[in-house]
Amino acid sequence: MKKKILITGITGFVGSHMADYILENFPNYQIYASKRYHLSRLDKIQHIYERIKWIDCDITDPIATEKMIKFVKPDRIFHFAAESFVSPSWDHPHRYMSVNYNGTLNILEAMKKIKSRAKILIPGSGEEYGLLEKKDMPITEKTLINPVNPYAVSKVAQDYISYVYYKSFGIRAVRVRTFNHEGPRRENVFGISSYAYQIAKIEKSNNNKKKILVGHLKDKRNFTHIIDIIKAYWLAIEHCEVGKLYLIGNYSTKSIYTFEKALKKLKSFSTIKNLKHKTYEPFIRPTNVPFLITKKTDFEKLTGWKPKISFEKILLDTLNFWREKIKVS
């Protein structure tokens, strides 16, 4: 009998890549997934839709969530369902807490009720570290969090409630905080994907007078390809100690760039020369996070994971994804 994996958020960026990885590499697992009946977009998983066992469930509904967990009785849970775009969180703080905190709580409570022994991956965010200075880099497991946006606060709450359920009820929560990851299928509201989308649109129109709209460009990050992150998540749920916090991110100095430098590289890959950009006020956040840079941490030492995909390939894969999407639109 196949083991059962439940993926929440499978229709999104990370969840769809996770499903691809499992289907390609672990045929002894059956994937179950939640979707919100008529609300979930299915474009990212259309190619594998028939290979998934679907459950209609909005995780913000505790009754539906409990019913899903009781029905599946999963051996592993990858919990990717989240409100993940930072910018709207100032205008919709209740929504972010409802999905990211309450949704997670509903899953944990359902697991408690059925005495589940499943491991559940709780993916946090480097954004939880918030406003730190250059002198505070690199971020380690001992770095104190200082969140400065509602999204980050909701992810802190998600992380801490999973720790509470681990300590109080023995829920086998695998806690990680993941730094910036990019690649194909990333929505075009996020920085690098937004630049790539706009470049692809300009290429299609062949109009180099049109400017790329950007927000704050000076923030510095270490970037990892989504495929490398997916492999890390599998290693995490298989090998990491439950209850303990792990950091996942590309620690190579070759992966550290500002968004300004990322934009410059993307421009150099374009078929349109002399592309210009301009700051677009609605893209400017009330608070920004200047530095999110980690180093080799306990996770790499435990699992041997090492990112293999270059920053240039991250950018090209993202740009080519949007070129293909726009070509058929």
Q: What is the CATH number of the domain that holds 102?
A: 3.40.50.720
Copy the structure tokens of residue 53. Answer: 């066992």
SS3 220: strand
State phi, psi for 122 to the nearest 5 degrees: -110, 100
Quote the number of domains for the chain: 2
| Shared domain check, 165 and 47 | yes
pLDDT value of position 91: 98
Give the model's confidence band at 1: pLDDT under 50 very low, under 70 low, under 90 confident, else very high.
confident
Residue 238, CB-side half-sphere exposure with 13 Å CA sphere = 12
Helix (H, G, I), strand (E, B) or coil at 91: coil
Written as one letter, the residue type at 118 is: A
Say whether both 150 and 242 belong to one domain. Answer: yes
pLDDT of residue 256: 95
How high is the pLDDT of residue 39? Answer: 87
pLDDT at 321: 98
Fill in the amino acid letter for 143: T
Q: Are residues 307 and 232 in the same domain?
A: no
CATH code of 321's domain: 3.90.25.10
Query: How large is the average pLDDT for residues 52-80?
Result: 98
137 lies in the same domain as 210:
no
Helical pair 150-169 and 103-113, crossing angle rounded to 10 deg: 10
Q: What own/partner pairs with CB < 8 Å and gap ≥ 24 does 18-24 have?
A: 18/78, 18/80, 18/230, 18/233, 18/234, 19/45, 19/48, 19/52, 20/48, 21/227, 21/230, 21/231, 21/234, 22/234, 23/48, 23/51
Rg (CA), the chain: 20
CA 297 to chain CA centroid, Å, is 19
pLDDT given for residue 54 in this prediction: 98
147 and 208 both lie in a single domain: no
Distances (CA, A) of 115 to 40, 74, 109, 295, 296: 29, 12, 10, 37, 35
Average pLDDT over residues 138-148: 97
Contact between residue 106 and residue 162 where contact means Cβ atoms under 8 Å apart: no
Residues 163 and 45 in one domain: yes
Q: What is the extent of the structural domain holding 136? A: 3-181+223-248
- Do 16 and 112 have their domain in common? yes
pLDDT in the model for residue 225: 98
How distant, in Å, are the alpha carbons of 25, 271, 328 from that of 19? 10, 33, 24
Is 93 in contact with 46 (CB distance < 8 Å)? no
